[in-house]
Chain A
Amino acid sequence: MALDPGSFRDPDSRVYLADDGVYRLLSERGRDDWLALRDAPVFAAATAGGTLVATEAVERSAVPGLDGEPAAAILRHERVPFVSYPYEWTFGMLRDAALLQLDLLARALEDGLILKDSSPYNVQWRGAAPVFIDVGSFERLRPGEPWVGYRQFCMLFLYPLMLTAYRGVPFQPWLRGSLEGIAPADAARLLARRDRLRRGVMTNVVLHAKLERRYAAVQGREVKRELRGAGFGAELVKANVRKMRKLVERLRWEPGDTAWTAYGEDDGYAAADRDAKAAFVRAAAARRPRRLAWDLGANDGDYARIAADAGCETVLAMDADHPTVELLHRALKRDGERRIVPLVVDVCDPSPGLGWRGRERAPLLDRGRPDLVLCLALVHHLAITRNVPLADVVAWLHALGGELVVEFPGREDPMVQRLLAAKNDDAHTDYELDAFERALGEAFEIRRREALPSGARVLFEATPR
């Protein structure tokens, strides 16, 4: 049993991770807030609807390894299949998480509760569906209290979404660059002057930044008292949350075409190759039940779907191209898909450890190792475009720890030809099937090998040695 390194900000509610589940240790105030939530209609409705993580109170004696940890009450939560972070989500995912946050908040306000923060880190995914995991965020609403999480909502949800919707700038590097999000003053500078005419910018960004500067020296407690005196109350918070919801709902971003969004239609595969590859992946994925599969360079998610259909409980469909993953998220959402989680991940630059002591947000690899790795139509991009030595590609695949399905496109493959054409003639002379197969054979036991009908690509199914 160990304290989740990402759970220290709220002293009333601390998360402990144990082998058999996720536990939340509450202070006395935290317990009273929990009891208020437990009896509120929002709790039953959101839990039944799957938008709030399943939660039960447990006795201290039922929790192993708790020792002398102080706790007025202990909750046990259902574990989400894989913890991902907002800098790995698409625009549509961040927007859906924002809407979930606002919907829960609006519903909680009806029951005399409020969410004490507004962090997208409190949202996780069951496939394409968002789940709110921080039951400790709910607290009893105090009369005259403003929406304390408003500033955080702006910094971690609204401004990143606006940056992408209004400026076409991907938000992920900004959120990865700062766990606190984008400050109001920075958001005001990032948006163009003409953006001030757009919905929500003048108030939530420009005025917000100005007032923050102006009232920097004024104590929050003093402002709260004045707000109470001026008649600020739950009705006003409700109205502001409603307005924010309308604003977020209207934020749109169209991905547009990139080199990757149409890859599935124009990827140089003959239909015969595609069928053979699908059959190969299906056979490998169906070999035994698997908890977690990673599809690296997932593109339109065809093979992630095959893996899920073949019995993989959860498949992470990762791709570095934000527009491609956004389109995949939309498709998965349309299908009501609950097994495949799309993520924006560049395997050459995966999420590192971030935050306090570099441990508050864990590196991608520490959040759950895959049982099965699909690495299809990717090796040539890593080796040629990104200059990763072939042996290192294999070493990395081995380090992931799972069984492997990997595709090697040979030099005569049209896509490989295209990638090589961008380089000097003497570059990547070591990019050869023999060299790859040798390196693969040293790190893995190759169980199956199949050349695709076109002859230019070979598939391997392998188990790490």
Chain B
Amino acid sequence: MAAIFAYLDAGSGSMIVQLVLGGFAAVAVSIKLWWRRLLRFLRIRPAEPAEQEASPTAGD
């Protein structure tokens, strides 16, 4: 829900740096992200619907 409410684009790379800065296991997150993209590329997993998290009135 958060993403569609934020008026500022946080930037994907910028969010991952924050993990690194926080001393977090950024590698695990980036592998997961990469893995999802791979599955999607191989069409094992469907692409995300664009407005999946939008409110019901979003299309008004």
Contacts and interface: CB of A to CB of B under 8 A. Distances in A.
A150 B12 CA distance: 11
A38 to B, nearest CB: 20
Secondary structure of the B side of the interface? helix
Contacts, number: 125
Interface string A73-117: 000000000000000000000000000000000000000000011
A356 to B, nearest CB: 15
A219 B53 CA distance: 13
A116 B37 contact: no
Interface of A: 9-12, 29, 116-117, 142, 145-152, 154, 184, 203-204, 207-216, 218-224, 226-227, 229-232, 236-237, 239-240, 243
A203 B20 contact: yes
Contacts of B33: 215, 218, 222-223, 226
A211 B20 CA distance: 11
Dominant secondary structure at the A interface: helix
A148 B8 contact: yes
Interface of B: 1-22, 24-25, 28-29, 32-33, 36-37, 48, 53
B19 A116 contact: no
Contact of B13 (A147, A149, A208, A236): A208
Given A222-B48, A230-B25, A9 B11 contact: no
Contacts of A208: 13-14, 17
B2 A218 contact: no
Contacts of A184: 13-14
Nearest to B12: A215
21 contacts: A10-B7, A116-B6, A142-B2, A145-B2, A146-B10, A149-B8, A150-B14, A203-B20, A203-B21, A207-B17, A208-B13, A215-B13, A221-B2, A221-B48, A224-B2, A224-B10, A224-B15, A230-B28, A232-B19, A236-B18, A240-B18
Contacts of A212: 11-14
A223 B7 contact: no
A227 B4 CA distance: 16
Contact of A150 (B6, B18, B29, B32): B18
A29 B55 CA distance: 14
A230 B17 contact: no
Most chain A beta-carbon neighbours within 10 Å: one of B4, B5, B14 = B14
Nearest to B7: A10
Given A218-B37, A226-B33, A236 B24 contact: yes
A232 B36 CA distance: 19
A438 to B, nearest CB: 56
Contacts of A10: 7
A147 B37 CA distance: 24
A221 B53 contact: yes
Given A149-B8, A203-B17, A236-B24, 10 more contacts: A148-B8, A152-B8, A207-B20, A211-B13, A212-B12, A214-B13, A221-B53, A222-B33, A226-B29, A230-B19
